[in-house]
Structure 1
Amino acid sequence: MTTHLLRRARALTVAAVTLTAGTVLGVTAPSAHAVDQTVPCTASTTTNGTNLQTAMSAVVGGGGGTITLDDYCVYELTVPISGTTGLTPVSGGITVTVTTVSGLNTATIERSTAGSTTPFNIFTVTGANSVLNLSHLSLLNGSAPDSGGAVRVLATATLNADHMLFAGNRAVNDGGALLLSNAGTGSTATITTSTFSDNQAGASGGAIRLQGSSTLNLSDSSVSGNRAKGNGGGIEGNIFTTGTAVTTLDSVTMTHNTAVNGGAIAMEGNGPLTVTNSTISANRTIEGSGGGVYLANGRTNSFTGSHIDGNTATASDDNVASGGGLFNSNFGAVTTLNTTTVANNQVVNANGQGGGIAGVAGTVTLNSATVTGNLVSGRFGKGGGLYSDDTDTPSVVNVNSSSVSSNKVVGTGAVSGGIYNSGATVALSSATVDNNTAPLAPAPGGVYTTVAIVPTGGSINGNFPTNCLLSPAMVTGCVN
């Protein structure tokens, strides 16, 4: 036993395992001056999991430290350490780091999928100044009977995660993979170069759920194939936030997520959303709005250098689906799209609205943006490219040096392939509204508005069957 462990420690080029009377279950016991732990790999994945639980308890009990796992090793947890958490919670203002020997390759921590395994998540960190650092790990099959299938970040705690895979995790309520709690002043997660895949929530946030005043910084990462039975397939649904939660996404790809509202992202509350250099594509809503993104409740949102492409909002004829790409909802949300493309999104629904963008109250501003190739398919559809109205509060749409082109509505009674406006204030400045298509009757194909629009520069050309003819209110300078 001693020879085997010493040989393994040398091969792993880590601090040598000192075998003393305190060595238990293959875990290096803490010395009087250190609480770091090394958990070597054995042939038994369940033994590895038990050893990891022992190491985590020792590090937490010793006031924090680092747990080092073997590259490519599987640590299988068969029972929770207590309650509904797989590993001893990080609390009391300490810092715990879990990583691999090389710091380059991945180890796997998974909840057992055996039929007799009770539901539990994997990591919990809670309390002010408590920090959990995770690096080069796969967290699989977590199953929370409440929220946060893989990781729960509670009560002003902090999670830092790098080169992580969160996959196959489940939550009965919110946050299939990750929950950021609203307790105290809110929790914080900074996540880089990571993947959230095939996670599921019974309510909202298929991958990630933010509550209250929590903060998420997600960069260079992928959120794909997650599902929520409520909102936010990726973030609250797949990413979902409420309250004053702050969300920043930089160089993030969100694809093939599904939810009721907000296939990829659903934001409800007053906290800001900032999206930069990101792609939101091929996401879907079922019986809801915002195939890619759903925004509500007076928040400020910005998209810069990003793509919202190929998303779909669907609903039965008893409901109305709006915003195949983006839905700016009815409580004064302010959304700005800078050098961002909204393309090839669709709404499939009778009375559907806004194949690309739907602004139902609030403000939507397009700066050097492109809205193209979007579709509303169904009877009485409106606004293949952009739809706006003032359902609840004054609504404003500003289209500046931007293009709304080659969008379409199809179906009996469908109106305006380009822009459909009912009651909102629309400003077109150096805007191009070209080559949009609607059925032969009723026209027009370019711009339909109930409030007069006075464009400044730009063009409205080549739309079918007309550019603006039969619009209830005038579009100054529009020639049919």
Structure 2
Amino acid sequence: MPALRALAGAAAIATATTAFTAVPAAAHTPEHVRCKTSALIAAITRANTQGFGKLSLAKGCVYDFTAPFSGDDATPPITVPVTIDGNGATLRRGTTAHLFRLLDVATGGRATLSDLKIENGNVTGDGGGLLVQNGGTLHATSVLVKGNTASNNGGGLESLGTLRLVRSRVANNNAAGSGGGISSEGATSVISTSIEGNTASRFFGGGVFNDGLITITRSSITGNRVTAGDGGGLWNNYQMTVNDSTIVDNTASDHGGGVTNAQLGRATFNRSTIAKNTAGLLAGGIYNVDSGSYLVLNLSSVIKNKAGSAPGGVFNETGDVVVNKHSPITGNLPTNCVGSPSPVTGCTG
């Protein structure tokens, strides 16, 4: 959290509030990388040495890593602007006892990925498949992050820097801590992306854990779960905006089957749907909790969610604020909002 507060005033947060500035493509012919893990390691090493890189992976290749290059990383941490055109290739941790992630964007690194799969990473720490360090930047388009595991946060990926994820899929990843799919403590934009079937084993955010600034647009958060904690789909502790998106069929063992907005959280939902989520205790839909949390529902619906105890729709703790702008809260069980310590404007039953 201290790193987040420092980052919030830095350029990375400012970047996320404006259009993402893409890394200019280096004016050189792409280097074609043979279908060998050693060839990819060598290509990234050369890029770091020369100060830039533009790599084209072997079409459909599975780069099967059986040991880390160093530390927790299968490949050298990216420290410069590097573009990787995956051509449908897969970076995969193969059958091995070694634990490591597949890609690491270090401080000062600016990675642009496309048409690439990141699979089966397993790390002791954060970021099972991908890690973006504080001061690093990742722009990923048409990327699949699948089946990765972290012993702490960010089963699929952990970002402490700047992340932009477009037309991608984050699926079936696992974190022993928070953020089964994505853990964001920096500045993150998620656009036209599916976050599905991820699990956080304890604490928060089966699909997404946010302790930074995140914007989610035209995306779906479905079938995620927390097995011992809150926020089956989304857990927000700082600033989150969700536009034109669906949060459906997520599960939390405790509170906030769809969404938990906690502590310093300021969450805004525009034209979005929170539906058919389940919580074992309170608030199948949205759990707005801890003094100072602020939630805005704008043309968004909270419908057909279910909780073990009332309310099933929206829970609003004493001292917190819910602003409802033409947003129906209906069809939730056992109640929509009755049982909430503070009233929820525009909600009855």
TM-score, structure 1 as length reference: 0.61
Partner of 2:302: 371
Deviation at 1:257, TM superposition (A): 0.8
CA contact (8 A) 2:32 2:55 kept: yes
Unaligned runs of 5+ in 1: 1-33, 42-47, 120-142, 315-320, 410-416, 434-445, 447-480
Q: Structure 1's 64 and 35: CA in aligned 2 closer, same or farther, altered over 3 A? A: farther
Q: Structure 1's 389 and 194: CA in aligned 2 closer, same or farther, altered over 3 A? A: same
- List, as ranges, runs of 4+ consecutive aligned residues in structure 1 with deviation greater than 6 Å: none
Deviation at 1:60, TM superposition (A): 4.3
Which of 269, 277, 283 aligns to 1:354? It is: 283
- Give the match's secondary structure for 1:106: strand
Q: Deviations over 1:260-293 (max 9, x none)?
A: 211101112xx32211111111111111011111
1:288 aligned onto 2:229: yes
Q: Structure 1's 300 and 54: CA in aligned 2 closer, same or farther, altered over 3 A? A: closer
CA contact (8 A) 1:354 1:382 kept: yes
AA aligned to 2:181 is: G
Deviation at 1:313, TM superposition (A): 0.9
1:229 aligned onto 2:176: yes
Partner of 2:345: 427
1:203 aligned onto 2:152: yes
If asked which structure has higher relative contact order (CA below 8 Å, sep 6+), I would say 2
Q: C-alpha distance in 2, partners of 1:36/1:222?
A: 26
Q: C-alpha distance in 2, partners of 1:63/1:247?
A: 25
AA aligned to 2:218 is: N
Deviation at 1:106, TM superposition (A): 2.4
CA contact (8 A) 1:35 1:65 kept: no
CA contact (8 A) 1:389 1:424 kept: yes
Q: C-alpha distance in 1, partners of 2:243/2:30?
A: 43
Q: C-alpha distance in 2, partners of 1:372/1:357?
A: 11
Q: Deviations over 1:39-89 (max 9, x none)?
A: 445xxxxxx333444454455445544444432334444554455544444
Q: C-alpha distance in 2, partners of 1:300/1:63?
A: 34
Which of 153, 156, 175 aligns to 2:127? It is: 175
How many aligned positions are there?
318
Q: Structure 1's 277 and 154: CA in aligned 2 closer, same or farther, altered over 3 A? A: same
Deviation at 1:36, TM superposition (A): 6.4
Q: C-alpha distance in 2, partners of 1:90/1:358?
A: 38
Q: Deviations over 1:279-318 (max 9, x none)?
A: 111111111011111112xx2221111111111111xxxx
CA contact (8 A) 1:374 1:385 kept: yes
1:190 aligned onto 2:121: no
1:245-324 correspondence to structure 2 within 5 Å? 245-259=186-200, 260=202, 261-268=204-211, 271-296=212-237, 299-314=238-253, 321-324=254-257
Q: Structure 1's 217 and 357: CA in aligned 2 closer, same or farther, altered over 3 A? A: same
Is 250-259 or 154-163 further displaced after alignment? 154-163
- Give the match's secondary structure for 1:50: helix
Partner of 1:113: 95
- Give the match's secondary structure for 2:230: coil
Q: Deviations over 1:380-401 (max 9, x none)?
A: x1211111112xxx20112221
Is 250-259 or 80-89 further displaced after alignment? 80-89
1:336 aligned onto 2:254: no
1:136-147 correspondence to structure 2 within 5 Å? 143-144=99-100
Structure label with greater radius of gyration: 1
Q: Structure 1's 363 and 174: CA in aligned 2 closer, same or farther, altered over 3 A? A: same
TM-score, structure 2 as length reference: 0.83
Unaligned runs of 5+ in 2: 1-27
Q: C-alpha distance in 1, partners of 2:299/2:43?
A: 54
AA aligned to 1:327 is: T
Which of 384, 395, 408 aligns to 2:320? It is: 395
Q: Deviations over 1:234-272 (max 9, x none)?
A: 11xxxx133xx112111111111111211101112xx32
CA contact (8 A) 2:73 2:104 kept: no
1:418 aligned onto 2:339: no
Q: C-alpha distance in 1, partners of 2:33/2:168?
A: 28
Q: C-alpha distance in 2, partners of 1:339/1:58?
A: 46
Between the aligned residues of both structures, percent identity stands at: 31
1:383 aligned onto 2:311: yes
Partner of 1:437: none
Q: CA RMSD in A?
A: 2.4
Deviation at 1:228, TM superposition (A): 0.7
- Give the match's secondary structure for 2:282: coil
Partner of 2:16: none
CA contact (8 A) 2:265 2:294 kept: yes
